[in-house]
Structure 1
């Protein structure tokens, strides 16, 4: 949803001269679309139907946004403002989603559930887009990405603070025990021995 909204925001009919926003989010839509298709192919039947329901709701919401903006707002400024506000909301939600994991890190004093590289990329992504937004003076790109930079930095600080207290999992591999049975027969008596 976030990528769809940013793609719509970058279209010339909404916010002219946003080629970078349009291309990056267009590529993101293709990659995410491939991921969703693969997920739906291999998901269990119940999960597949739930995901298709969520996608239908998102498609209906996006269709309503597109129709409402194109019919109701007749200037680039109004279209940019409406779609920009939605982008700020959904972009902020995307960047804030790791906050639940950050709470778990503080409670458990372990970074086991917060991958370092995901936190690093979250921070760098927010930083790059904030820099871009400040160059272009685009408040709608600045707000969610500045929040993303702050949230990413907090994640990295938490990671380094709790990294040493995280219990290390051993790399020992426990092999399964295999029992073999030997049957010894003597006269009328049979005995089975487990080895």
Structure 2
């Protein structure tokens, strides 16, 4: 580690900043789980994003440990493994029987089965630098695959003209995180770390651009299931998905209720006028 710091002082700086920002990003779902604990129900929230985030952290942690000089990747992904495991444990504790069984099946098949298979294959079929490279590009491929999440958010924003399920602050920190980890990967000359974060940076900018465009746009009604399943994804040398517990726009709802009340009052007044006219005619 000391050698890495002497050769790449800027890499160490960007890595520290990346750890700090990523630490805060990992804690983004905490309000959702506080809500689950209070209500003792997972409602319509899905466990898949947390399972994917845990799998990603496990992959990148294994990769970082093989490199021997990537302690900053080890620290953040170790934290990711711990916090995502806590999220999943809480989810399983309060999920319905059907959701609990589904979550456990995915946990066993993906986070245990698939990861164990990758570990065995890379251990016995490759060695030395070849193993590190093979695992690194596998991490890159996985990161690119899960980018379907933010693309679905872009589609929903354009369709609903609403950014309620894409908080600007979270998008901003995810973009900033991508910049830090790209710089870190660049300075330590690790393309496997740098490349996914280029895409993360581009998508982060796109999300913030859409926020600026549709922030004050007239919003369409958004189905509850969309609000519960919306996710935001980041790469920090790892890929993460974050379900967003979007809250309805209260001011918009009050405005709709006011307009509806006015319409009801108008229809009542019209009916009253018609009744008076009929009485006069009689």
Q: What is the aligned partner in structure 1 of residue 142 from structure 2?
A: 90
2:60 is the counterpart of 1:6: yes
CA offsets 1:38-96 (integer angstroms, 9 cap, x no match) = 11001111100000000011110000110111111111x21111111111022223444
Give the structure-1-normalised TM-score: 0.82
Which residues of structure 1 form unaligned runs of 5+?
Answer: 175-195
Which residues of structure 2 form unaligned runs of 5+?
Answer: 1-54, 220-248, 258-282
Higher helix share: 2
2:121 is the counterpart of 1:68: yes
Q: What is the RMSD of the two structures over their aligned residues, measured on CA atoms? A: 1.7
Runs of 4+ aligned structure 1 residues displaced above 3 Å come to: 93-96, 166-169
Matching of residues 1-195 of structure 1 within 5 Å = 1-11=55-65, 14-58=66-110, 59-75=112-128, 77-167=129-219, 169-170=250-251
Larger-gyration structure (1/2): 1
Count of residues in Structure 1 that have an aligned counterpart in Structure 2:
170
Shift in CA distance, 166/116, structure 1 to aligned 2, threshold 3 Å: farther
The offset of 1:117, in angstroms, is: 2.2
Give the structure-2-normalised TM-score: 0.57
Question: In 2, distance between residues paired with 1:132 and 1:155?
Answer: 23
Which structure is higher in RCO with an 8 Å CA cutoff and minimum separation 6?
A: 2
Shift in CA distance, 117/95, structure 1 to aligned 2, threshold 3 Å: farther
